[in-house]
Structure formats: structure tokens, C-alpha cells
């Protein structure tokens, strides 16, 4: 009975153990499921956080992109607003010495040729002397002497070979040094040639040769740093007689002015959008760019002119574009101004308002530069193009080209009359003046812009005085004319241009006359005053220097 009870107890205990293990396994399975669920939820939470972080970082990148675009936009606008101020912080003078070069001499590098080898030493060849019992061996002494003789022969052979190699090395070193010295001389000569050219350039500039003066001031403008979008194209012509520089300058297009006011990021559409800049602001900014570029160029040229080569500068600013009406290339002028050194250097350019400054200089500025409304240049560049003048000088000796200074007064009158008829005026020739020139009354048949025109011509060798311009203005008023034109075979000075400024007067110099005759009348003429030529005397003129630096007589009516 006791055994049975013990067996039953053990069976019951075993059963309970199985049940305990089953419950433990069940608990483990439940724990594993819970842990898996916890890990899954943690993973999902991590994914959510990662997505949020990714979105945050993406939003930051797009925001930074917009901020960079707005910063770039602001920098561009500031660049355009500071076009004039930026150049005032720079000395535009171009020192000829800075154009010279110092020859860059590379070091002599002979390499292995510069390293000599040690000569052989006889000790390296000599056999060891016999010692001990070796001395007692019969014939040992003779064999040793034979070995010594062979060693000496080997030493002498090696020494001779070494000496030959050294001779060849030294010869090659000398040749390398000679080639190096020849290259150095070539480098020095190239630098010397360039520096001589600079000295010659300076001499031609000091002599006021038109080509050299134009080249110098072109280098000045080349050194000027402009923002992107500026063409940096210009032509120059210098008239030494009147110390006048004419500049034909390509202005930037309207596209240099940003048309965007601001950029912003739209999160809902994941897009960067821009706010358009008001059209009035774009037009005003472009007008300012045109005005600043004009004044900036005048400043750079006058500031670079330490030697006082320039008395006046004519600036014609144009835009290279396509005419929307014809689809063909067009180059309308948007600004034209003649500025004298005396007036311009008195300006405080740090405080001027560019458009008002141009108005004060009596500039003609487009009423709407953004719409490319043109103005008429004060002086057509082709009339003073240095190439045109040079060509005239070269061809001046040809007999078939008339010399205007050798024509009779009557022939000269007919020439001028024919010229203005070819230009579209209805001319009426009058009594020739005492100086052999022409007084002519003409009529411009165009409605509104036309009217009576008084034309006077002066055949002069020296600079025409301002009194002739005053006389023309008085004649124009007496005749009730709408315009006066003074033509001369010489040049005008600063006072003449200043008097004519703002008045319906046009002053045409000798180069202008040659250009107009070739362009409109098909006459290739030249102007070469005879050595004994004397300008007609009427009144003494002291306000203008002559070409030869003496007082010029006033032109007769």
C-alpha cells in the first residue's frame, strides 16, 4: 500500500513538472511574441522618425537653396547699384612700367651631369702580400710580383676609362650649360623686346599719336572690372588737334537687370516660385545702369589721363540688339554726351544721382532705354574713326583726290552746296565770304523737324575760334533759322564745344567733312594746307590754341 502511494506521488509530481514546463514554455512563447511585437513597433516608430528627419533635412535643403538664390539676387542688384561707386575705389591710371616684364629665368638643372664619380684607387686592385709560410714557398715572390703588375695594369686601365667618362661628362655638362645660357639669352631678349615695345608705345603716347592714345585708353577700360553680362566692347578715336577722345561703347542689354523680386519655397507643391519685380523698377534699374556705365567710363578715362592728353571726351553708348520690327541687327544709341575735363573733374561722383548728373552734363539720354528708344549721337564715330583718317593720309598723294585747300572759293562753295543737297537739304548758295568759305541758306523739307538751316564753311589751317561759333549763332537768330551748321577744314577747341552745348548748332571738323563728302557725295577728298597758307584775318582770337600752339585769327564772316 505504501509502494502504491509512493508511485502515485511520483506520478503526480511528474505530471506537475510537465504542466510547469508547459506553462513555462507558454510564457516564453508569449514573451517572444510580445518582444517581437515590441521590436516591430520600435522599428515602425524608428521608420516614422527617420521619415520625419528625412523630410526635415529635405525642407532645410530647399529652404537653404531659396536663401542662396535670394542672396545671389541681392548681390546682383547691389552690383548694379554700385557700378559707379565701385570704380571710385580704384586708381585707373595705367603705369607703363607695370606693362613691362621681368624675364623669368629657370634654374640650371644639369641632373646627373653635375655629379662626378670617384676615381679608382690602386689599393682596390693590389693582391695581398704573402705572409708566414707563404713566403717560404718557392716562386711565391715571383708570383706576387706578377700579380702586382697585373693589378697595376688593371688599375691603369680603369683609371683611363674613368678619366674618359669624366671628360665626356664634363663635355656634356659644358654643352648643357651652353644650351641653358642660350635659352636664358632668348628669354631675356624676348623680355627686352617687349619692354622696348612698351617704351616705344610710351613715346608714341607722349607724342599724342592717335593710335597710341586710343590703345592706351583701351587698356584702361580693359582693366575695368564689370559684373557678368557686360559686353566690354568699344572703339576709340583720338583727335589730337582738339584733344578730343571719341568712345563708341556697347552697353549691356536689359537682361542684365534681374526681373525677379524674390524667390520662395512652396512646401505644398515642393516647388520654388518667384515673385516678379515690378516693371517700373526694372526700367528704372536699367536706366541707372546706362547712366552709371556712362559716367563710370568718363571717370576712368579722365582719371587715367595723368598727362592731360584729353580735353574733352565724347561718349556714345549703344546696344547691340535685333530690331523687332525688321528682325535685323540694330545698334540704337541710348546715350550720348560730350564732357570736358574742367567740368567733369569738379563733380563729386560719390554723391551724384547718375541720371541727374548726365542731365547736368547736357547729355542726350533715351527717354526709355528699356524700350531701346534711340538718341542721335552728338558726334558720329565713323566721322573720326582713326582708320578713316589714316586711310586719308595714305591716299592723300593721289592726284585724282581733290585737295580742298587748293580749290577756288567758288569751287569750294559748289562742293559744300552739292554735299548738303546730297544729304537731303534744299540749298540756296549765297555770296562767298572773305575767307574763301561758303555761307549757305538751306531748308530741311521734313515736317516738324525741318526748317531753315544756316550753313557756314571756314577753310582754316588752325583751330577755329569760339567767335566763329558765336557769329554763326547770331546769324542763325537774325535769319530766324532753326539750326546752324559750321563746317571747317581744321578743328574746334573746347570753348567752341562749350558754347554750342545745348544750342541748335552743329560743328563739323575737317575729318567730318571728308567723311560726309565720301559718304554722301562720293568724293574722296583730302585737306593739305600749302606751307604758305594764312588763315583769313578779321579779329584776334585768344581763347583757343592753334594746332601749332599760337594764337589763331578769328574767321571772317
Q: What is the pLDDT of residue 435?
A: 40
Q: What is the pLDDT of residue 431?
A: 55
Pairing of strands 234-239, 244-250: antiparallel
Confidence grade of residue 428 (pLDDT, cut at 50, 70, 90): low
Residue 94 lies in a domain: yes
Cβ atoms within 10 Å, residue 327: 8
Given a cut of 50, whether residue 434 has pLDDT beyond it is no
Given a cut of 70, whether residue 549 has pLDDT beyond it is no
Residue 262 lies in a domain: yes
Confidence grade of residue 446 (pLDDT, cut at 50, 70, 90): low
User: What Å distances lie between residue 525 and 16, 193, 429, CA to CA?
Assistant: 135, 39, 21
Q: Which residues contact 25 (CB under 8 A, 6 or more apart)?
A: none
Query: pLDDT tens across 243-265, in order?
Result: 999 999 999 999 999 999 999 99
Query: pLDDT tens across 261-281, in order?
Result: 999 999 889 999 999 999 999
- The answer to whether the CB of 302 falls within 8 A of the CB of 310 is yes
**Separation CA 405–CA 261 (nearest Å):** 62
Q: Which residues contact 551 (CB under 8 A, 6 or more apart)?
A: 540, 541, 542
On whether both 408 and 351 belong to a single domain, the answer is: no
Cβ atoms within 10 Å, residue 307: 10
**Separation CA 537–CA 546 (nearest Å):** 14
Confidence grade of residue 130 (pLDDT, cut at 50, 70, 90): confident
- The answer to whether the CB of 496 falls within 8 A of the CB of 464 is yes
User: What Å distances lie between residue 391 and 344, 386, 396, 398, 529, CA to CA?
Assistant: 33, 9, 8, 12, 18
Residue 113 lies in a domain: no
Query: pLDDT tens across 308-325, in order?
Result: 999 999 999 999 998 877
Region 436-459 average pLDDT: 70
Burial of 68 (0-12, 13-18, 19+ CB in 10 A): exposed
Q: Which among 50-59, 111-120, 282-291, 490-499 has the top mean pLDDT?
A: 282-291
Q: Which residue has the higher pLDDT, 453 or 545?
A: 453
Of 325, 349, 382, which marks where a domain is finished?
Answer: 382
State which H helix or E strand residue 486 sits in.
Answer: strand 483-488
Confidence grade of residue 547 (pLDDT, cut at 50, 70, 90): very low
CATH code of residue 549: 3.40.1350.10
Range in 193-197, 270-274, 540-544 the model is least confident about? 540-544
Q: What is the pLDDT of residue 221?
A: 94
Q: What is the pLDDT of residue 178?
A: 94
Q: What is the pLDDT of residue 5?
A: 67
Q: What is the pLDDT of residue 551?
A: 31
**Overall number of domains in the chain:** 2
The number of angstroms, rounded, from the C-alpha of 219 to the middle of its chain's C-alpha atoms is: 8
Give the burial string for 175-193 (b: 16+ CB within 10 Å, else e).
ebeeebeeeeeeeeeebee
Of 352, 382, 412, which marks where a domain is finished?
Answer: 382
Give the burial string for 96-119 (b: 16+ CB within 10 Å, else e).
beebeeeeeeeeeeeeebeeeeee
Rg for the chain, CA atoms, rounded: 47
User: What Å distances lie between residue 33 and 22, 45, 47, CA to CA?
Assistant: 16, 18, 21
Of 359, 382, 405, which marks where a domain is finished?
Answer: 382
Region 510-520 average pLDDT: 87
Region 139-165 average pLDDT: 86
The packing angle between helices 386-395 and 210-222, to 10°, is: 160
On whether both 374 and 436 belong to a single domain, the answer is: no
Q: What is the pLDDT of residue 238?
A: 92
CA-closest candidate to residue 194, choices 304, 97, 105, 106: 97
Pairing of strands 451-458, 438-444: antiparallel
Given a cut of 80, whether residue 136 has pLDDT beyond it is no
Q: What is the pLDDT of residue 383?
A: 67
On whether both 270 and 317 belong to a single domain, the answer is: yes
CA-closest candidate to residue 247, choices 377, 417, 394: 377
On whether both 251 and 326 belong to a single domain, the answer is: yes
- The answer to whether the CB of 425 falls within 8 A of the CB of 442 is yes
Query: pLDDT tens across 276-298, in order?
Result: 999 999 999 999 999 999 999 99
- Domain hosting 495: range is 396-553
Given a cut of 50, whether residue 384 has pLDDT beyond it is yes
Region 154-162 average pLDDT: 90
On whether both 306 and 448 belong to a single domain, the answer is: no
Helix H, strand E, coil C: the string for 240-254 is CCCCEEEEEEECCCH
Region 72-98 average pLDDT: 93
On whether both 352 and 478 belong to a single domain, the answer is: no
Q: What is the pLDDT of residue 39?
A: 79
CA-closest candidate to residue 396, choices 512, 525, 488: 525
Q: Which residue has the higher pLDDT, 375 or 388?
A: 375
CA-closest candidate to residue 501, choices 376, 368, 383, 360: 360
On whether both 314 and 431 belong to a single domain, the answer is: no
On whether both 339 and 227 belong to a single domain, the answer is: yes
pTM of the model: 0.63
Q: Which residue has the higher pLDDT, 452 or 206?
A: 206
On whether both 416 and 353 belong to a single domain, the answer is: no
Q: Which residue has the higher pLDDT, 344 or 143?
A: 344
**Separation CA 164–CA 166 (nearest Å):** 5
**Residue-averaged pLDDT of the chain:** 83
Given a cut of 80, whether residue 386 has pLDDT beyond it is no
Cβ atoms within 10 Å, residue 253: 16
334 three-state secondary structure = strand
Confidence grade of residue 394 (pLDDT, cut at 50, 70, 90): very low
Q: What is the pLDDT of residue 4?
A: 57
In the numeric block, which cell numbers belong to residue 526?
583730302
Q: What is the pLDDT of residue 204?
A: 93
On whether both 430 and 529 belong to a single domain, the answer is: yes
Amino acid at each position: 500500500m505504501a509502494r502504491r502511494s509512493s508511485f502515485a506521488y511520483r506520478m503526480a509530481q511528474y505530471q506537475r513538472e510537465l504542466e510547469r514546463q508547459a506553462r513555462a514554455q507558454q510564457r516564453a512563447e508569449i514573451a517572444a511574441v510580445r518582444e517581437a511585437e515590441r521590436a516591430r513597433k520600435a522599428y515602425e516608430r524608428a521608420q516614422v522618425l527617420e521619415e520625419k528627419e528625412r523630410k526635415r533635412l529635405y525642407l532645410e535643403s530647399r529652404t537653404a537653396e531659396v536663401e542662396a538664390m535670394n542672396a545671389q539676387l541681392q548681390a546682383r542688384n547691389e552690383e548694379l547699384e554700385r557700378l559707379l561707386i565701385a570704380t571710385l575705389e580704384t586708381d585707373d591710371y595705367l603705369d607703363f612700367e607695370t606693362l613691362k616684364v621681368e624675364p623669368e629665368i629657370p634654374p640650371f638643372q644639369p641632373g646627373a651631369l653635375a655629379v662626378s664619380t670617384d676615381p679608382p684607387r690602386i689599393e682596390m686592385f693590389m693582391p695581398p702580400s704573402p705572409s708566414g709560410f707563404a713566403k717560404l714557398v718557392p716562386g711565391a715572390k715571383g708570383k706576387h710580383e706578377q700579380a702586382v703588375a697585373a693589378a697595376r695594369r688593371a688599375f691603369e686601365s680603369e683609371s683611363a676609362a674613368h678619366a674618359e667618362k669624366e671628360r665626356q661628362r664634363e663635355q656634356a655638362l659644358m654643352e648643357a650649360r651652353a644650351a641653358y645660357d642660350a635659352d636664358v639669352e632668348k628669354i631675356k631678349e624676348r623680355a627686352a623686346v617687349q619692354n622696348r615695345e612698351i617704351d616705344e608705345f610710351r613715346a608714341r603716347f607722349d607724342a599724342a599719336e592717335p593710335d597710341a592714345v586710343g590703345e592706351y585708353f583701351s587698356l584702361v577700360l580693359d582693366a575695368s572690372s564689370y559684373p557678368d553680362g557686360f559686353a566690354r566692347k568699344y572703339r576709340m578715336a583720338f583727335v589730337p588737334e582738339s584733344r578730343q577722345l571719341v568712345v563708341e561703347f556697347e552697353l549691356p542689354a536689359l537682361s542684365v537687370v534681374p526681373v525677379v523680386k524674390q524667390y520662395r519655397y512652396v512646401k505644398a507643391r515642393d516647388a520654388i516660385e518667384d515673385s516678379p519685380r515690378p516693371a517700373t523698377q526694372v526700367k528704372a534699374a536699367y536706366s541707372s545702369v546706362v547712366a552709371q556705365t556712362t559716367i563710370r567710363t568718363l571717370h576712368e578715362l579722365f582719371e587715367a589721363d595723368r598727362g592731360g592728353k584729353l580735353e574733352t571726351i565724347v561718349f556714345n553708348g549703344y546696344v547691340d540688339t535685333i530690331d523687332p520690327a525688321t528682325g535685323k541687327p540694330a545698334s540704337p544709341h541710348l546715350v550720348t554726351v560730350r564732357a570736358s575735363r574742367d567740368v567733369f573733374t569738379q563733380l563729386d561722383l560719390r554723391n551724384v544721382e547718375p541720371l541727374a548728373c548726365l542731365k547736368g552734363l547736357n547729355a542726350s539720354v533715351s527717354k526709355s532705354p528699356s524700350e531701346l528708344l534711340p538718341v542721335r549721337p552728338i558726334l558720329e564715330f565713323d566721322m573720326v574713326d582713326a582708320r578713316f583718317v589714316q586711310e586719308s593720309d595714305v591716299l592723300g598723294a593721289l592726284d585724282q583726290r581733290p585737295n580742298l585747300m587748293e580749290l577756288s572759293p567758288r569751287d569750294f562753295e559748289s562742293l559744300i552746296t552739292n554735299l548738303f543737297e546730297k544729304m537731303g537739304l534744299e540749298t540756296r548758295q549765297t555770296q562767298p565770304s572773305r575767307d574763301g568759305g561758303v555761307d549757305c541758306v538751306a531748308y530741311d523739307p521734313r515736317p516738324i523737324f525741318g526748317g531753315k538751316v544756316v550753313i557756314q564753311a571756314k577753310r582754316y589751317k588752325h583751330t577755329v575760334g569760339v567767335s566763329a561759333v558765336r557769329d554763326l549763332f547770331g546769324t542763325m537768330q537774325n535769319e530766324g533759322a532753326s539750326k546752324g551748321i559750321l563746317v571747317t577744314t581744321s578743328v574746334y577747341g573746347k570753348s567752341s564745344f562749350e558754347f554750342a552745348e545745348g544750342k541748335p548748332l552743329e560743328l563739323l571738323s575737317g575729318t567730318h567733312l571728308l567723311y560726309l563728302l565720301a559718304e554722301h557725295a562720293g568724293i574722296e577728298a583730302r585737306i593739305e594746307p600749302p606751307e604758305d597758307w594764312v588763315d583769313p584775318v578779321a579779329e584776334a582770337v585768344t581763347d583757343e590754341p592753334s594746332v601749332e600752339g599760337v594764337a589763331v585769327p578769328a574767321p571772317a564772316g
